[in-house]
């Protein structure tokens, strides 16, 4: 078993700082305290070449942090990079290949126009999808229409996810958007991809988050409040969406969640961080993970079940929707929110009496997914 013993954060948003300074902002609070014990560094990053004209980012980061002799690897799994990096960190620790792995998720995206950013991110799509010309947001719009048609979900129920997540994001000092929105404001914002509106799609963000992963046997020598990785699963799916049976279920998410639940022995977490690049994805993922029955996730949103204080709070951090989506940092930040919640350090967005929490980080449009179940106590 592995444990997370420390976390560092940068504020997400459109930042003037460069990628190296952003990495240091979250990493230095951890390295200053534990530098001598760190024997491996994983850098979760997707597009340093496309956005920042930089390659070999992992070595550049370790040198910037004065950790030149520590081996490092850059991990790119598109928007699922952070989850894949956490999976790798846990594997290194559990195999005995490393004792303490520093995980740094980082992306600097705001230097290019929105159209170019969308094009770069959509490069992950298969040739069939590229030929048809969709982007990731436009696919979310198609999924929204399919889901509403198949299950009778109301348009307001989808938008209500954004209302909830912006309420949560306003309580998160590291969130990109810290503004409470009404349902009317969400529904009247600019159309991005019919029927989804501006506030239902994650913003283009810069930022970083860092975690320190160690073996469970060493965890209490680092902190009195370690958070244990009780189960972690990773799964993939066909890259061509046109070859999938349906879009309203995400098999990679479902299978990754099943592995994490089976390993941990926890069928239902007390709360979860899901990959809401678009509002509809939070609902569909909550069903694929078995939190709600197929076609009923939208009802749970309307009933308040996914709010802080509800039956199963989802995206207490504000999610990608409000917290932001600096792609390489996203999965690390999701796990870091679970870490804070389980240590009772989430401030005004704290979930009461939480013992277990799940983070689910998705690559592409379900091309792969990593689910991690974390908890207090071995």
Q: Is residue 249 in some structural domain?
A: no
Q: Which residues contact 298 (CB under 8 A, 6 or more apart)?
A: 147, 151, 153, 154, 157, 158, 283
Q: Is 39 inside a domain boundary? A: yes
Give the CATH number, domain containing residue 59. 3.40.47.10
Domain tally, the chain: 1
Q: Which residue has the tokens 């594997």?
A: 91
Is 171 contained in some domain? Answer: no
Instruction: Give the span between the Cα atoms of 193 and 304, in whole angstroms.
Output: 26
Q: What pLDDT is attached to residue 224?
A: 96
**In contact, 375 and 342? CB cutoff 8 Å:** yes
- Spatial contact of 301 and 314, defined as CB atoms under 8 Å apart: no
Residue 214 lies in a domain: yes
Helix/strand/coil for 356: strand
Domain extent, residue 58, equals 2-112+204-222
Contact (Cβ atoms closer than 8 angstroms) between residue 276 and residue 199: no
DSSP 46: S
Residue 194 lies in a domain: no
The answer to whether residue 352 sits within a structural domain is: no
pLDDT digits (tens, 9 = 90+) for 319-351: 999 999 999 999 999 999 999 999 999 999 999
Residue 133 has pLDDT above 80, yes or no: no
Distance between CA atoms of 362 and 126, rounded to whole angstroms?
16
Q: What are phi and psi of 210, to 5 degrees?
A: -130, 150
- pLDDT over 90 for what percent of the chain? 88
For residue 39, with 0-12 CB atoms within 10 Å meaning exposed, 13-18 middle and 19 or more buried, which class applies? Answer: middle
Residue-averaged pLDDT of the chain: 96
Does any domain span residue 240?
A: no
Question: How do residues 60-116 score in pLDDT, each as one tens digit?
Answer: 999 999 999 999 999 999 999 999 999 999 999 999 999 999 999 999 999 888 889
Q: Is 312 part of a structural domain of the chain? A: no
pLDDT digits (tens, 9 = 90+) for 275-291: 999 999 999 999 999 99
């Amino acid at each position: 078993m592995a444990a997370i013993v420390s976390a560092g954060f940068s504020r997400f948003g459109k930042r003037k700082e460069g990628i190296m300074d952003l990495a240091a902002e979250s990493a230095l609070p951890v390295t200053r305290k534990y530098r001598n014990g760190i024997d491996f560094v994983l850098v979760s990053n997707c597009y340093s070449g496309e956005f920042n004209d930089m390659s070999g980012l992992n070595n550049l980061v370790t040198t910037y942090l004065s950790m030149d002799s520590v081996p490092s690897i850059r991990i790119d799994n598109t928007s699922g990079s952070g989850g894949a990096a956490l999976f790798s960190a846990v594997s290194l620790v559990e195999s005995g290949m490393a004792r303490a792995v520093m995980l740094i998720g980082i992306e600097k995206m705001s230097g290019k126009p929105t159209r170019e950013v969308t094009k770069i991110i959509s490069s992950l799509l298969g040739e069939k999808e590229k030929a048809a010309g969709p982007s990731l947001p436009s696919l979310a719009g198609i999924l929204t229409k399919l889901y509403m048609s198949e299950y009778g979900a109301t348009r307001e129920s989808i938008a209500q996810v954004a209302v909830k997540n912006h309420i949560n994001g306003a309580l998160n000092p590291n969130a990109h958007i810290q503004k409470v929105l009404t349902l009317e404001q969400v529904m009247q914002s600019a159309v991005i991809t019919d029927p989804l509106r501006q506030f239902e799609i994650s913003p283009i963000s810069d930022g970083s988050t860092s975690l320190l992963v160690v073996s469970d046997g060493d965890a209490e020598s680092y902190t009195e409040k370690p958070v244990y990785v009780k189960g972690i699963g990773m799964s993939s799916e066909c890259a061509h969406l046109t070859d999938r049976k349906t879009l309203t279920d995400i098999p990679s998410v479902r299978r990754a969640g099943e592995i994490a639940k089976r390993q941990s022995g926890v069928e239902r977490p007390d709360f979860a961080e899901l990959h809401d690049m678009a509002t509809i994805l939070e609902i569909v993922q909550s069903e694929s993970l078995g939190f709600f029955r197929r076609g009923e996730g939208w009802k749970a949103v309307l009933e308040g079940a996914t709010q802080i204080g509800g039956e199963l709070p989802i995206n207490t951090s504000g999610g990608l929707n409000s917290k932001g989506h600096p792609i390489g940092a996203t999965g690390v930040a999701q796990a870091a929110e679970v870490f804070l919640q389980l240590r009772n350090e989430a401030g005004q967005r704290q979930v009461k009496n939480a013992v277990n929490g799940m983070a689910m980080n998705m690559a592409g449009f379900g091309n792969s997914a990593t689910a991690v179940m974390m908890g207090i106590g071995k």
